[in-house]
Chains A and B, each alone.
Chain A
Amino acid sequence: MGENIRTALSSIWGNKVRSLLTLLGVVIGVTSVTTLVAVGQGVKNDVSGLIEGLGTNIITVVSGKIDTSNSGNTNPANFVSGDILTQSDVTALQALPSLQSVSPIALVSGELKVGALTSQPVLFGTTSNIAQSFDIIKVDSGRIFKDTADDQKSIVLSSIAATTLFPGETAIGKQVTVGTEVLTVVGILSQPKSSSLFGNQLSTLSLVPFNEATVLNKGRVTISRMYAKAFDTQQVNDVKRQMHDVLLKAHGGEENFTVLTQDDILGIFSQFLNLATAMVSAIASISLVVGGIGIMNIMLVTVTERTREIGLRKAVGATQGAILIQFLTEAVVVTLVGGILGLLLSWVIAQIVAAQTPLQPQFTPQVIALAIGISIIIGAVFGLWPAMRAARKDPIEALRYE
């Protein structure tokens, strides 16, 4: 076996250009599959990290009907539709004793300005209980706004916005312009540290009172989602059902909203991720098959070139099985080299992706095992037929071969 591996490596080394061309398919296939899976793992990691950071007793209500039962026909457009949830829904939910707090969220677009300085925020219009509903939102200094009319012209800045707009000075008490509105900074949020992919978004999160959001959105009251927090972590699914029933009644029996636990959200992400993985894997597997055919071709050439060697080995006592294993090992070593190259290439790509994008690909042991496993299988499957041809050669004819 050791000798077989050495023979394989030396024949790869002896025909560098040919080997490289042969390996290209396998390298590309393994690179794409491992990069994809590593990115997927990174995203999954991120999402579960985020959800853990948010707390598992948070329940989200979004407008539109989302099918969370793994059948995969979720329409992402439903996430952004905005005039189905109403203020009375919030009130109805707040009446539920199992809920600690319910916060409506209105998305506001616009930039923050102080003189010539600007900052692009994720701007939420919400109520003062948001910090209760959402563990990740913490006031670092100052306070959250009150829900009263006299505190409506207030804003709570992200720590990033605060340092961008007020470099070297305290932001609290100062004024910020959003659109045509001038708002007073009452508090600064602490920098969330949870997730890299969503951290970017969360780290620029600034908050204005819900009614102020309506003003900024030119009078349109749009609740794009609601965050509710259950008292009991163990009973989120019960609470979810209660919320669903309350909302269904409030919407006159029309199910144009979805109540999601953190597990549901994770499930939806997994669905998307699995779909994307399946699609790219299908493309990658084409290159693996092409690579495999390349290996088969090169192994058939090798077997023919080494006909005399096969005859000799049989003459000195090699059984058919020994010859079969020899050439199968060679094919597997070749694809394994391709797989390792692919893995290295994919690692390099992952470093670039990690540096240039919020994605953080994860090279878990499973990803490495997948790359190694794929290469071994490709080598074994596509090396079998050439190895069988080698094993079945008649020793006398093989020895006479020129």
Chain B
Amino acid sequence: MSIISLTNVSKNYLLDTVEVRVLKDVNISIKKGEMVAIMGPSGSGKSTLMNMIGLLDRPTSGTLRLDGKEIRLTMSDKALAHLRSEKIGFVFQSFNLLPRLTALANVMMPASYAGTASGVAKEKAIEILGRVGLKDRVTHRPTEMSGGERQRVAIARALINNPEIILADEPTGNLDSKSGKEVMQVLRDLNNEGKTIIIITHDQTIADYCSRTVRILDGAVEERHG
């Protein structure tokens, strides 16, 4: 059974008075444990698609299922926030770490929204930081770390609530190729441990890490297996 499934999903945005169709009848099904690259030109709707899967946005029409559960348009913000906290980990191109907080505090942050006790979260955060190779950076602040290290902190943060799905929107876009490779290796390892991973990228070498590539052009999906 697929962990993510979109059926005839469309998304319209109202720009001034004109309705812009950003996603057009998208049908995608992603199985548990897959590692999928989403590629397409800038403005084609990749981030919109990812926000939809990550429950930050709601489809204008069509059906989205996570883990077999239909996400209804009428679901409250609170219910979506809880689902997000439980099932989804985000990794962003610009890391989005909080500059005042240490690596450890950044990683722990989502745990408080999942209701995890801070002692438990701390232990878990230290363990995860070790797993992404940042055992020595626990008390460092983002400004004291390299881009690759920051992105690995962000990945650790995405893992703290043990979600099944990791959504990464151009995770290597701000990194040099060496750091990019390290980050991809971490994501690859996570995939081998069973996480479902979706990566938006422009870069074919990044897509090559994935078992499957979905291409978007002008809001419509064309798929190629490889």
- Give residues in A with beta carbon < 8 Å to B: 2-3, 7, 10-11, 14, 308-309, 311-322, 395-396, 399
Contact = CB atoms under 8 A, between A and B. Distances in A.
Given A309-B98, A312-B98, A317 B77 contact: no
B92 interface: yes
Interface in B155-177: 157, 161
27 contacts: A2-B118, A3-B109, A308-B96, A309-B98, A312-B92, A314-B56, A315-B56, A315-B84, A315-B90, A316-B84, A316-B90, A316-B109, A316-B157, A317-B81, A317-B82, A317-B84, A317-B110, A317-B114, A317-B161, A318-B81, A319-B77, A319-B78, A319-B82, A320-B78, A395-B56, A396-B56, A396-B57
B100 A7 contact: yes
Nearest to A3: B112
Nearest 5 CB-CB pairings of A with B: A317-B85, A316-B110, A317-B113, A319-B81, A312-B96
B81 A10 contact: no
A309 B85 CA distance: 16
A319 B113 contact: yes
Contact of B92 (A2, A322, A399): A399
Contacts of B27: none
Given A317-B84, A318-B81, A396-B57, A10 B51 contact: no
A197 to B, nearest CB: 51
Contacts of A14: 100
Contacts of A312: 92, 96, 98
Chain A CB count within 10 A is highest, among B77, B81, B98, B112, for B81
A107 to B, nearest CB: 69
Q: Chain B interface mostly helix, strand, loop or mixed?
A: helix
B153 to A, nearest CB: 13
Contacts of A319: 77-78, 81-82, 113
Nearest to A318: B113
B54 interface: yes
Interface string B106-148: 0001101110001000000000000000000000000000000
Interface residues of B, number: 26
A317 B77 CA distance: 10
A13 B85 CA distance: 31
Chain A CB count within 10 A is highest, among B57, B82, B112, for B112
B198 to A, nearest CB: 15
Given A314-B56, A317-B161, A322 B100 contact: no
A308 B90 CA distance: 14
A399 B161 CA distance: 20
A396 B100 contact: no
B51 to A, nearest CB: 5
Given A315-B90, A316-B157, A321 B78 contact: yes
A315 B78 CA distance: 12
B113 A322 contact: yes
Chain B CB count within 10 A is highest, among A313, A322, A395, for A395
Chain A CB count within 10 A is highest, among B82, B92, B157, B161, for B92
Interface in B167-215: none
B171 to A, nearest CB: 14
Given A312-B98, A396-B51, A396-B56, A320 B110 contact: no
A100 B29 CA distance: 103
Given A14-B100, A399-B96, A315 B54 contact: yes
Nearest to B158: A316
Interface in B83-111: 84-86, 89-90, 92, 96, 98, 100, 105, 109-110
Contacts of B78: 319-321
A10 to B, nearest CB: 6
A399 B113 CA distance: 18
Contacts of B85: 316-317
